[in-house]
Chains A and B, each alone.
Chain A
């Protein structure tokens, strides 16, 4: 009888649970994960997408990854950080690096069947360059002829953008500017026949960007179920239609993603160095690692007199054992950086700043460093590798006589410390300057001091600016490379930043998936999904 009562209680609990879960639980199973599961691909998203799939919106990793399925630009950046023609069949840069001519592929169609022409390109570039559309990258276009007049209201269109015929698009720069190609050549093209009726002020709010079902990418947007997945399906009008019909991009915790990799619920996922052992234990997946372009660094506020002396900045680098940091914190899955220039673009013979405590002390003494001065290192707490790194930096600087106080700061408070130049040191990550080294100018040029640009450390070296400008004004590859090499040496010697490390992109892929090429970070765009396939 007692046992009966227990059974009644258990059944009662189960029924009640079912009732509660039944009326509140998540609703449907996504189509495609049932019988057709082997034809659908499931990809891990490291964060929840914001849900505004617009090239005008602020950069957001997961949204960008979704957009890399549904949109395409004239050019694209491959996993090796090289520009490749996409919607453009070919492009040409004039010898003086002022005119960029793109020949579009013939007979392309939007996913809804509408013909694609250079007018769509012209439309998109005019939107992106117009600050009234709240395009966050509008500043990138200031080097295009006629943009200043257009923004200032003196012209109704941008003279530097022209579409001489349906298959040609031309960009003219105000002055020699080879880097413009990498800066704006890969913008995702938007459909004029959908968005053309909106005014620049309202276009960003068009509902299209929440449900962008018309695009030039290999996949077409189907739906975004918040907290669950973004569903995209193969675009039948794509120039070489994708082999996998349905793709689900699923935001979840990294723990969940790792577990799902093991049981086949997720086919492609990035993972963190702490999970290497777990992931490599799965028999069903292969792993890929790819050197990253972005890097974790510490900016030293050179508006403060005590960071103006390059010797102090060099001493700080000598104080650190960056190799050991990479070993301990990232299980060796990262590269120590020697300059802002990407490893592939860097000349040989840069100073490695290997740890040398005596040298650091000597340089500090020469610069007259005050050992009683306490400086603050601020960073946003929450990423394991950066939290650990900040502690290590504190302790290794202490060993050369520099007192550092760690300040755990809220992300929203950071812009203020830049604007008021109040911070000493800030640890942060990001910055992909690999595609074209001219972008480094954005964080080193005297003219780009915050808030005009991203030079938040208020570094200023006119000689470097001059070298960078010269390099960017030539279309000759060898000549440009030689000038950038000089610039890299100067920058390496000046130690404008405390470059720390570039983490590798670590990706795990189910063995049934072919053709996936890993990118250098967990937030990078996916490259050429149309060429992926599923076997078995």
Chain B
């Protein structure tokens, strides 16, 4: 098991470096000048050129690509991702303050999707080919088909504008950011994120449960006269849990993609909103920092899935 994980880990580290190179090559191809755009054209004058030149030198934008990359990589490994081109704040700080809200949204969203996926998946597995099973499939297909932003607009129309039950903008009331208020703001985005991600989970729960329900020990338990509920919950459910956890780990990046869109619609001050606004304002150093963070998250969740996998299936230890 150790050897397997060490091998996966070293592959991940290699992939990580390849990704950093890819990100850099990409950013170098960028059109336009993020520094020059900070000064409106009709306010240009003879002082502007010096400002631009000095800023470029300061931000290391005038070296060769290799120099820039090396400079950035060594700094990044020391936890220094440079400074935002827009406001000169450290990128780690800018990203750092956005991680919390995104983790909050993703965490609760994940919880919601599991609360949808498990009951529906188990029921569908127990009553295969029933109308319930069929309905669950439609719900799951719907959740991956209907774009989250459209679901979000409908939900805002109904729950924010018509019934006025929930707010639809921001993480909390800026004048009264209490915990309860934050939760109130969290309801709609978390529900939508959860719904959008419940489809794949439900399918896995269903198929995993079907496998377990057909296993010998379940037949034995049934034969011994255990109640169906006990069989499902105590035996089959527990054993189907770990493969499902593996799927959850590999699906974390997908959850983040959903969060990017939801944050935009609900003005949620997380990483996704930061990414989209940095993209629109050409804040390359923040974009690079964001891309790096995503790469780390993806590779970590892969590693987590690998670990879970070795736990489930002892055979992989031999590989």
Contact of A21 with B87 at beta-carbon distance under 8 Å, contacts A418-B41, A450-B41 already known: no
Is there an interface contact between A252 and B170, defined as CB atoms closer than 8 Å? yes
In the bound complex, residues from chain A placing their C-beta under 8 Å from that of B168 are: 255
Stretch at the interface among A12-20, A360-368, A387-395, A525-533: A12-20
Residues of A close to B54: CB separation below 8 A: 134
Cβ contacts under 8 Å, B108 to chain A: 16-17, 20-21
Scan residues 42-89 of chain B and give those whose CB is less than 8 A from a CB of chain A: 42-51, 54-55, 86-89
Q: Are B97 and A226 in contact (CB under 8 A)?
A: yes
The reply to whether B87 and A18 form a contact with Cβ atoms under 8 Å apart is: no
* B32 contacts A by Cβ under 8 Å: yes
Given A21-B183, A411-B282, also A142-B46 (CB < 8 A): yes
Set A382, A411, A430, A450: member contacting B37, Cβ < 8 A: A411
Interface: A375 (CB within 8 A): no
Contact A227 B41 (CB under 8 A): no
Q: Does A52 contact B282, Cβ atoms closer than 8 Å?
A: no
Whether the pair B175, A33 counts as a contact (CB closer than 8 A) is yes
A137 at the interface (CB under 8 A from B): yes
Q: Residue B177 at the A interface, CB < 8 A?
A: yes
A157 within 8 A of B: no
- Please tell me if the beta carbons of B111 and A138 are within 8 angstroms of each other in the complex: no
How distant is the Cα of A59 from the Cα of B51 in the complex, in angstroms?
Answer: 13
Cβ of A452: which chain B residues have Cβ within 8 Å of it?
Answer: 44-46
Q: Which residues of B contact A17 (CB under 8 A)?
A: 108, 111, 183, 186
Is B101's CB within 8 Å of the partner chain A?
yes
With A411-B281, A411-B282, A450-B44 known as contacts, the answer to whether A52 contacts B87 (CB < 8 A) is: yes
| CB-CB nearest in chain B for A42 | B175
**A418 partner residues in chain B, CB cutoff 8 A:** 41
Q: Is the CB of A412 within 8 A of B173?
A: no
A454 x B42 contact (CB < 8 A): yes
Q: Which of A245-289 contact B (CB under 8 A)?
A: 250, 252-253, 255-256, 259-260, 265-266
Closest B residue by C-beta to A264: B175
CB of B51 within 8 A of CB of A134, answer yes
Q: State whether A138 and B186 are in contact (beta carbons under 8 Å apart), knowing that A51-B87, A260-B174, A412-B33 are contacts in the complex.
A: no
Partner of A454, one of B44, B49, B174, B182: B44
Flag whether A338 is at the interface (Cβ < 8 A): no
B115 interfacial contact with A, CB 8 Å: yes
A431 at interface by CB-CB < 8 Å: yes
CA distance A29 to B115 in the complex (A): 32
Q: Does B22 contact A (CB under 8 A)?
A: no
The answer to whether B48 touches A415, judged by C-beta atoms less than 8 angstroms apart, is: no
Q: Are A20 and B88 in contact (CB under 8 A)?
A: no
Task: Find out whether the CB atom of A259 lies under 8 angstroms from the CB atom of B169.
Answer: yes
Can you name the residue of chain B whose Cβ is closest to the Cβ of A209? B88
- Give the size category of A's interface with B: 35 or more
Measured between C-beta atoms, what is the minimum distance from B99 to chain A in Å? 8
- Encoded as 1 (CB less than 8 Å from any A CB) or 0, chain B from 162 to 179 comes to 000001111111111111
Q: Which residues of A contact B179 (CB under 8 A)?
A: 18, 21-22, 25
B101-114 Cβ-contact flags toward A at 8 Å (1 or 0): 10110011001000
A456 pairs with B186, CB closer than 8 A:
no
Interface residues of A in 124-141 (CB under 8 A from B): 131-132, 134-140
Q: Which residue of A lies closest to B40 (CB)?
A: A430
- The CA of A267 and the CA of B199, in the complex, are separated in Å by 44
Contact partners of B30 in chain A: CB under 8 A:
412
B137-172 residues at the A interface, CB under 8 angstroms: 167-172
Q: What residues of A have a CB within 8 angstroms of the CB of B282 in the complex?
A: 410-412
Chain B residue with minimal CB distance to A417? Answer: B32
CA of A430 to CA of B44, assembled, Å: 13
B46 x A256 contact (CB < 8 A):
no
Name the one of B51, B170, B178, B280 contacting A382, with C-beta atoms under 8 angstroms: B280
Residues of A within 8 A of B19 (CB): none
Asked if B45 contacts A453 (CB within 8 A), the reply is: yes
Interface pair B104/A58, CB less than 8 Å apart: no
Please indicate which of the listed interface residues A20, A252, A456 has the most CB atoms of chain B within 10 Å of its own CB: A20
Report B-chain residues with C-beta under 8 Å of the C-beta of A9: 115
Q: How distant is B188 from chain A, measured CB to nearest CB, in Å?
A: 13
Count how many chain B residues have C-beta atoms less than 8 Å from C-beta atoms of the other chain. Answer: 57
With contacts A18-B183, A58-B38, A382-B280 known, is A255 near B174, CB below 8 A?
A: no
* Interface assignment of B34: CB less than 8 Å from any CB of chain A: yes
CB of B36 within 8 Å of the partner chain: yes
The residues of B that contact A135 with a CB separation of less than 8 Å are 47, 51
Q: Does B267 contact A (CB under 8 A)?
A: yes
CA distance A16 to B183 in the complex (A): 11
Known: A265-B175, A415-B37, A450-B41. A20 touches B48 (CB 8 A): no
Q: What residues on A are CB-neighbors of B47 within 8 Å? A: 131, 135-140
Residues 409-422 of A, flagged 1 when their CB comes within 8 A of B and 0 if not, give 01111111010000
Tell me if A35 counts as interface (CB < 8 A to partner B).
no
Q: Is there contact, CB below 8 Å, between A265 and B173?
A: yes
Task: Give the complex CA separation of A451 and B44 in angstroms.
Answer: 7
Q: Which residues of B contact A410 (CB under 8 A)?
A: 31-32, 282
Q: Are B87 and A416 in contact (CB under 8 A)?
A: no
B103 partner, pick from A24, A255, A265, A454, beta carbons under 8 A = A24
Residues of B near A137 (CB, < 8 A) are: 43, 45, 47
Contacts of A256 in B (CB 8 A): 169-170, 174, 267
Asked if B189 lies at the interface with its beta carbon under 8 angstroms from chain A, I say no
Q: How distant is the Cα of A89 from the Cα of B281 in the complex, in angstroms?
A: 42
Q: Inside 8 A of A255's CB, which chain B residues have their CB? A: 168-169, 267
Interface residues as binary, A484-499 with B (CB distance below 8 Å gives 1, 0 otherwise): 0000000000000000
Complex: chain B residue closest to A431, CB-CB: B42
Contact of B89 among A42, A51, A454 (CB under 8 A): A51
B103 to A, closest residue via Cβ: A24
> Is B293's CB within 8 Å of the partner chain A?
no
* B289 touches A (CB below 8 Å): no
**Which residues of chain B are near A21, meaning CB under 8 Å?**
104, 108, 179, 182-183, 186
Chain B residue at smallest Cβ distance from A410: B32
Q: Which residue of B lies closest to A227 (CB)?
A: B269
Q: For A265, what are the chain B residues with a Cβ–Cβ distance below 8 Å?
A: 173-176
With A21-B179, A414-B32, A415-B36 given, name 8 new contacts (CB 8 A). Answer: A16-B111, A18-B183, A21-B108, A21-B183, A58-B39, A131-B51, A259-B167, A265-B174
The 9 closest A-B pairs by CB, nearest first: A139-B45, A138-B47, A412-B32, A50-B87, A454-B42, A265-B175, A413-B32, A24-B100, A139-B47
For this complex, 19 residue pairs linking A to B, each with C-beta atoms less than 8 Å apart, are: A17-B186, A21-B182, A24-B104, A25-B179, A50-B87, A59-B43, A132-B50, A134-B55, A136-B48, A228-B174, A228-B177, A252-B170, A256-B169, A256-B174, A410-B31, A410-B282, A411-B32, A411-B281, A415-B36
- Residues of B with Cβ closer than 8 Å to A? 30-34, 36-51, 54-55, 86-89, 97, 100-101, 103-104, 107-108, 111, 115, 167-179, 182-183, 186, 267, 269, 280-282
